[in-house]
Amino acid sequence: MSDDRDRLADELTPAALEATYPDAEPDQLAHVETVPAVAADTVAPGDVLPAWLADALDHDLYSHQAAALDALRDGENVTVATSTSSGKTLVYALYYALLKRRDPDARALFVYPTKALSTDQERALNDLFGDLGVDASAETYDGDTKAERKPLIRANRDVVITNFAGINHYLSNHAKWRDVYANTDLVVIDESHTYTGVHGMHVSWVLRRLRRVLDHYGSTPQFVCTSATIGNPKDHSEALVGREFSVVETDGSPRGRREIAFWLPRRDDDGGGSGSDEGAASAPADADAPTARKRAGAAAASVTSHLGLSGVQTLAFLRSRQGVEIAAKRARDAAREHPTDARLDAKPYHAGLSKRKRRAVENTLKSGRTDAVFTTSALELGIDIGGVDATVLAGYPETRQSFWQQIGRAGRGTSKALSVFVPRRDAIDQYILDDPDYLLGDEIEDAVVDVSNNHVYARHVRCAAEELPLTADDAAWFGPRERLERAVSVWRDAGEIVGDLERGAQYDGRPRPQASISLYATTDVEYEVRRVDGEIDMEPIGRERAYRDYHPGALVMYDGEQYEVVDLAEDRHRPYVELERVRTNEYTTTAHEKRVHDIEATRSRDLGDGYSLHAGTGTVEIDYTQYRRHDIGDGSVEGPYPIDLPPIELRTHLTWVELPADMESRVVDALGPAALLDADGAPASDAGWTFAGGLHGAEHGMIKLAPLELRLDNSDMGGLSTPMHPETGAPTWFIHDAVEGGVGFAHSIYDHVEAVAAKTRDRVARCDCADPTGCPSCLMSAQCGNDNEPLHKGATTAILDAVLSRLDAPERESEGSPTPDA
Amino acid sequence: MEGSVALAVYPATVLDRLTDRGLRESLAYLDPDAVLVERPRHGARLAAVGSDRRVLRLTDLPTGVVAGASGPQLACLSTPRGFETLAGHERRGDLDAASETYVLSDALAVDVDLTALETTLEGRAAYEEALDGAAIDGSYTHLTTNADPGYRNDWDGLAVAGVWPGASETSASPPARIAALRLYGDGTVASDTYDPGRFGLEGLDGVGPTRAATLREAGYATKAAVAASDPGELQRCEGIGATTERTIRYSAKARSEGVVYRTSAERLPGNDPVFVDIETDGLSPTMIWLIGVYDSRTEEYRSFLATDPNASGRAVSAFAEWYATRASGRPLVAYNGERFDFPHLHEHVTRHCPEYAATWRDAWTFDLLWWASTEGNAVLPGATNALDDVAGALGWESAGTGLSGAVVGQRFRRWLADPSRATELDWARHERYCEDDVRALAYVYEAVRDAEPIAGVARSDGPRDAAATTTTQGTLGDFE
């Protein structure tokens, strides 16, 4: 055994892993991806920095650092979109040092997405300023800062480190920040790619409010965004900040050779499908289907255990805090069964642990004194832990950039490193298993920021009116003027703004309208999540989600624990849902009736031959009617039970595809009679039912696989498919945003429809499941309101093939007349 | 200002919180002509505590005049069709057509649709149809139970004001509040809301529902009973230690005796303070148009007034010059100045007369409310910490101008938007209003300065130095 042990630690390769893994199944190592080593591309600091600063640096700059500093010195706003650990902090720290030298009063705001990162960076920045001999200091100012420190930080600190939730509040008291704002020459937005979707939309308005107040105090700072590699760094930064940006994305940092093992969980001898990873129905047992294997978390625990016992320090990423705790325990248990019979030192790490515990784990990692650490994405961003020998990923972490960020934690400098990716059963993981090239491809997910949501916009305008009177000049930040006029008028009629844009519109409502802004929701109606039998640390949820997933009787998973919803109370000022901890072998499905009406296209593409694609707005009406309880063990179903909630109406963004009127016969003819579904009592012919299964499958599949192209949260999306929609007059499938006012997700699918449709088609066609109605790894969705019926793989691929061939045909773009705010 | 009608609104959540004694105390304090509640049982609650006020129930509003014999009157409508009845009252002379009539109903609702960026007045069509059909002459303001107190909007000639705390869907989580509206003959609606916790034992510092119940069980039913307790006595109650007792006792003594107690050895700034109050066109002002100053050294009051909408810096510039040449270095005292007067003066001085910006930056500003309440240096009497409540409790006789900050701001905005004879303010009356506030502030300040420190707190004499003040002044609130 000791030979094996040494072999794995020495070689750090997938082959060594397979050879040394106890009783490895022959196909467990499904694929090996090799990322070659890259040498550093460096520039002498004296080429881009004045001598006093260049001399203080005891190393060369990477080429991207030099390029970014060059652009900044030319007065540009710069986005640095390079790999993790490529020294992005140094770029803005050095640039601030230059600004400070030029003007000793120059100050800066550095904004980080998490408090943990703020703390970590505060230390790093002050050390760096010290090493460089720059007379500057940075300090964190956020919700945890002691009241007596605050005036001192505002008065004295050169660099104020904070977050956007804080800025949203602090803007109300800008007079106290006068000295900071009047001298702000630089604003840094770190990890800017994290600001997407609803959150990104809020942050972009907070930034406009901040820029307006800075402008009021005579400051027009430069902006630096640092981002992971995303597909649209320039567009994203410009949408977020509202200024022009130059992008530096050619990474000059070095990288060691890296091998990634795609490692399948063992086949499950117990008959397969002991609960799917996503809580949806399991497909029937089928030896080749992804559902026939054990869960990814368990497999990741044993492979991590093996690595740790072989002297390979390993960091394993799981998707929930509870998953982390369970996996750490499993790994220690697995160690006892391991042939080496040694003790494994494995520690959990997540945001639920105390600061002190987290610090302790970070330190043991840095000093290499532990075998294995199991973590959530908490250790993915920035925090300095040095490097480990290997990383294990239990499931694909939703974006390519997270994937590489987690992979990138392995390796010390330019030494070699091993990573192990254990796919889950869901559609995206299976897609990547089928097509590992996706990970290395040039196309990277676009980050979606959209500022057309009026609900969010109007609330920030109300805050702005409290901060300074709004005048016509403020159309520069909140324009166009017509939109601003309407927002002011809506609040004037609501009694919360007085005056007008000529003289100055002022807020006149309750103190601190900023407090009513949640940076994660579009409306102010939020449901607090409580427990009848203990504490739960969960962000409040919006109405749409509360109705869909938290109606009384629903079983929900949160952080690896199961709860039953016992109450949804909304006849009060602070509505809430109340949960009770349960342990069942069941899950629930919720049925709804959905209508999409009053659709208005703002953009359309006529694809010819009766096919067309549209983006616009519409009203989505959802009535959650009943739910069922399913037993995972014996497959029995109880219910349906009624849900006593009124229908929800959303005016939101849509994208839809219209098909030729005779599409059903085209699809059915292509499939042949033997492939048709049995309508079995459904109000349709077999042919009609099968065709509906294809439309439904295309709708599900595109929503499930959109995250391969776009940084979006597909739980904030929904769909509807129908063989005949009363307004389009054609077979149609809709994809809609599931938040009031829209968030840009559905519209971004319109912009990326070719890629999303092609990836969906590939996944469905390649899924190993034997059932023509698909499985959770291709078509089934846990959020489906129709019990995943009907679905049909063959019809889905036929429809997607037809649409893709029309998309390839010569374009006949017919831009609709856009509405003013679209 | 010939008379007014007072309407108080008690939502069910408020009545649930108030004890009988608290309810009586609040009614005595607000002294309403009519009280609006939700349901018959809430009306019964008022009767049960011995109230003989006119009670209006939301579930069955009557139609007809309910308060005011002449001058401003309050009428109710059970449905908009009731305008016929009001027209009849008008014809018979039961309604004073020369003075404003207020019509209370639940027929109008403000509906805010942020996605469409549109606010609509629901029920407006039917309401206006009934109003037009009834052909009434007088001037009317329409009060709706479906909007917050303080809500006011002119819907193309239909003047609508709200009365119900928490009714507006977009307001940021208001806790249960009592609304007190004063309805004037010229169409002015002055509204305040009160935390029901201010009445009864819960109105004492350090007392919540639990301690209130503990105190009642121990036989302390009123503030006066708590105030009359001997030192140490309250400590016999469970959960009340020496420090809490001191807080509770002195709060009770301040409220029931109408005096100030100093709870710390902190000194007030000496050096002949200058008392100041500003009038603006709103909460994020575009113009500070009136600044009242009382100089305690010369015992002179003066005001800086700017009536020209096109000279929005005139009052501020004149004030800044006066301060720089006559009062530089002396403490400027304002009530709630930290949150309002000082930052806005700073802002406007910087904008309109930057030559005085440095003087202003170095000015010694002192917020009496902040010092007493936020920093906990003194216990003030009064049902709220609003200046008129505190001054009134200390025996200050208000000049009774019938104005409030919100109303004054509203009128000045009307003038700004369309300066004309019709919109012009009675400037002298507004100057008197501002002067009354500044003198009330000086009066409260003196009461605080002369107040006895409570037992165990040494009083040190002499003015404290400016440096110390500047530091404490910088102490921050929640979200800075």
Quick check: B282 and A469 CB within 8 A? yes
Nearest to A756 by CA among A522, A521, A448, A451: A448
- Beta partners for A562? A557
Quick check: A498 and B416 CB within 8 A? no
Quick check: A493 and B475 CB within 8 A? no
Q: Indicate the fold that domain A2-35+255-444 takes in CATH.
A: Rossmann fold (3.40.50)
d(CA A484, nearest CA chain B) in Å: 10
Cβ-Cβ contacts under 8 Å, A496 against chain B: 170-171
Mean pLDDT by 10 residues, chain A (822 residues): 71 92 91 90 96 94 97 97 87 97 96 87 94 94 92 96 96 93 97 90 97 97 91 93 96 88 86 41 56 86 93 91 85 84 86 80 85 88 76 88 84 80 88 84 76 91 96 95 96 92 91 83 76 79 84 84 89 82 86 92 93 95 91 82 90 95 94 89 89 96 90 84 95 92 89 94 89 87 83 96 91 46 36
Pairing of the two strands A526-531 and A576-581: parallel
d(CA B362, nearest CA chain A) in Å: 14
Q: To probe the interface with B, which of A149, A508, A544, A821 has the most B CB atoms within 10 Å?
A: A508
Residue linked to tokens 């199944």: A25
- Beta partners for B65? B75
Give how far Cα A253 sits from Cα of A88, A96, A391, Å: 10, 22, 20
pLDDT for res A166:
95
Pairing of the two strands B101-113 and B140-146: parallel
**Contact yes or no for A603/A614 (Cβ under 8 A):** yes
A726 CB-contact burial (10 Å; exposed 0-12 / middle 13-18 / buried 19+):
exposed
pLDDT for res B170:
56
**Residue B10 reports pLDDT greater than 70:** yes
- Any long-range contacts for A19-28 (C-beta under 8 Å, 24+ apart)? A20/A306, A20/A310, A21/A303, A21/A306, A22/A306, A22/A338, A22/A339, A25/A264, A25/A266, A25/A267, A27/A264, A28/A263, A28/A264, A28/A266
Query: Omega into A284 within 30° of 0, i.e. cis?
Result: no
Q: Can you spell out the DSSP letters for A499-561?
A: S-TTT-BEE-SSS-GGGG--TT-SSS-EEEEEETTS------EEHHHHHHH-STT-EEEETTE
Quick check: B480 and A458 CB within 8 A? no
**Contact yes or no for A266/A295 (Cβ under 8 A):** no
**Contact yes or no for A708/A756 (Cβ under 8 A):** yes
Residues in chain A: 822
Query: How far, in Å, CA of A567 to CA of A551, rounded?
Result: 7
What is the phi-psi region of residue B55: left when phi exceeds 0, alpha when psi lies from -120 to 50, beta otherwise?
A: beta
Q: Is the ipTM of this complex over 0.90?
A: no
Q: Average pLDDT in the B155-184 region?
A: 82
Pairing of the two strands B288-295 and B300-305: antiparallel
Quick check: B479 and A515 CB within 8 A? yes
Using CB atoms, which residue from B153, B346, B410 is nearest to A493? B153
Tell me if domain A2-35+255-444 and domain A42-248 are identical in fold.
yes
Quick check: A512 and B285 CB within 8 A? no
Tens-place pLDDT, residues B68-96? 877 899 999 999 999 999 999 988 888 88
Cβ-Cβ contacts under 8 Å, A175 against chain B: 343, 346-347
Is A421 in a helix, a strand, or coil?
strand
Q: For residue A512, what is the nearest residue in chain B, using CA coordinates?
A: B172
Q: Could you count the other beta carbons within 10 Å of the beta carbon of residue B403?
A: 24
d(CA A10, nearest CA chain B) in Å: 54
CATH 1.10.10 fits A454-516, yes or no: yes
Quick check: B118 and A486 CB within 8 A? yes
Q: For residue A617, what is the nearest residue in chain B, using CA coordinates?
A: B115
Secondary element (H or E) of residue A670: helix A663-671
Q: Can you spell out the DSSP letters for A307-369?
A: HHHTT--EEEE-SSHHHHHHHHHHHHHHHHHSTT-----EEEE-TTS-HHHHHHHHHHHHTT-
- Beta partners for B455? none
Is B453 in a helix, a strand, or coil?
strand
Cβ-Cβ contacts under 8 Å, A489 against chain B: 117, 119
- Beta partners for A732? A658, A722
pLDDT for res B458:
53
Using CB atoms, which residue from A493, A506, A509 is nearest to B171? A509
d(CA B404, nearest CA chain A) in Å: 15
Query: How far, in Å, CA of A693 to CA of B34, rounded?
Result: 65
Query: How far, in Å, CA of B28 to CA of A23, rounded?
Result: 85
Q: Can you spell out the DSSP letters for A437-498?
A: HHHHSS--PEEP-----HHHHHHHHHHHHHHS-B-GGGHHHH-SHHHHHHHHHHHHHTTSEE
Query: Omega into A726 within 30° of 0, i.e. cis?
Result: no
Q: Indicate the fold that domain A42-248 takes in CATH.
A: Rossmann fold (3.40.50)
Query: How far, in Å, CA of B84 to CA of B92, rounded?
Result: 13
Give how far Cα A725 sits from Cα of A591, A624, A647, A734, Å: 20, 21, 20, 10
Cβ-Cβ contacts under 8 Å, B168 against chain A: 494-495
What does the DSSP 8-state code read for residue B450? H
| Chain CA centroid to CA A481, Å | 33
Domains detected in chain B: 4-197 (3.60.21.10), 200-257 (1.10.150.20), 274-473 (3.30.420.10)
Cβ-Cβ contacts under 8 Å, B281 against chain A: 499, 503-504, 506
Q: Where are the domains of chain A?
A: 2-35+255-444, 42-248, 454-516, 526-584, 590-814
- Count A/B contacts: CB-CB distance under 8 Å: 135
Query: Omega into A480 within 30° of 0, i.e. cis?
Result: yes
Q: To probe the interface with A, which of B170, B342, B370 has the most A CB atoms within 10 Å?
A: B170
Is B289 in a helix, a strand, or coil?
strand
pLDDT for res B463:
41
Secondary element (H or E) of residue A422: strand A417-422
Using CB atoms, which residue from A150, A175, A458 is nearest to B476? A150
Provide CB contacts within 8 A for B414, sequence distance 6+.
B423
pLDDT for res A818:
40
Quick check: A495 and B162 CB within 8 A? yes
**Contact yes or no for A716/A745 (Cβ under 8 A):** yes
pLDDT for res B119:
94
d(CA B317, nearest CA chain A) in Å: 19
Residue linked to tokens 């085209």: A666
Quick check: A465 and B110 CB within 8 A? no
Nearest to B342 by CA among B469, B191, B190, B465: B469
Q: Could you count the other beta carbons within 10 Å of the beta carbon of residue B98?
A: 11
Tens-place pLDDT, residues B299-358? 999 999 999 999 999 999 999 999 999 998 899 999 999 989 999 999 999 999 999 999
Nearest to A360 by CA among A377, A347, A344, A374: A347
Read off the tokens for A768. Answer: 């190993």
pLDDT for res A282:
43
Q: Can you spell out the DSSP letters for B277-317?
A: EEEESSSS-S-EEEEEEEETTTTEEEEEE---TT-TTHHHH
Query: How far, in Å, CA of A34 to CA of A261, rounded?
Result: 9
Is B146 in a helix, a strand, or coil?
strand
pLDDT for res B175:
61
**Contact yes or no for B3/B404 (Cβ under 8 A):** no
**Residue B204 reports pLDDT greater than 90:** no
**Contact yes or no for A395/A777 (Cβ under 8 A):** no
Read off the tokens for B356. Answer: 């005085």
Q: For residue B344, what is the nearest residue in chain A, using CA coordinates?
A: A175
d(CA B50, nearest CA chain A) in Å: 30
What does the DSSP 8-state code read for residue A642? E
Nearest to A619 by CA among A783, A523, A520, A742: A742
Using CB atoms, which residue from A151, A175, A573 is nearest to B173? A573
Tens-place pLDDT, residues B34-75? 999 999 999 999 999 988 899 999 999 999 999 987 789 999
Read off the tokens for A796. Answer: 């889905």
pLDDT for res A280:
41
Q: Give the relative orientation of helices A63-73 and A88-102 as an angle to the nearest 10 degrees.
A: 30
Sign of CA dihedral A318, A324, A326, A328: positive
Buried b or exposed e, range A811-820, using 16+ CB within 10 angstroms:
eeeeeeeeee
Cβ-Cβ contacts under 8 Å, B118 against chain A: 486, 490
Give how far Cα A549 sits from Cα of A156, A553, A766, A790, Å: 48, 10, 31, 22
d(CA B285, nearest CA chain A) in Å: 7
Provide CB contacts within 8 A for B63, sequence distance 6+.
B75, B76, B77, B78, B79, B82, B85, B86
d(CA A517, nearest CA chain B) in Å: 9
Read off the tokens for A302. Answer: 């044993």
Pairing of the two strands A222-227 and A184-189: parallel
Q: Could you count the other beta carbons within 10 Å of the beta carbon of residue B322?
A: 17
- Beta partners for B365? B332
Read off the tokens for B281. Answer: 């066109």
Read off the tokens for B307. Answer: 């009536």
Read off the tokens for A344. Answer: 């494994």
Q: How far apart are the first and last CA of chain B?
A: 42
H helix intervals, B338-395 = 341-352, 357-362, 368-369, 387-393
Q: What is the CA radius of gyration of chain B?
A: 24
Q: Could you count the other beta carbons within 10 Å of the beta carbon of residue B417?
A: 15
Quick check: A489 and B119 CB within 8 A? yes
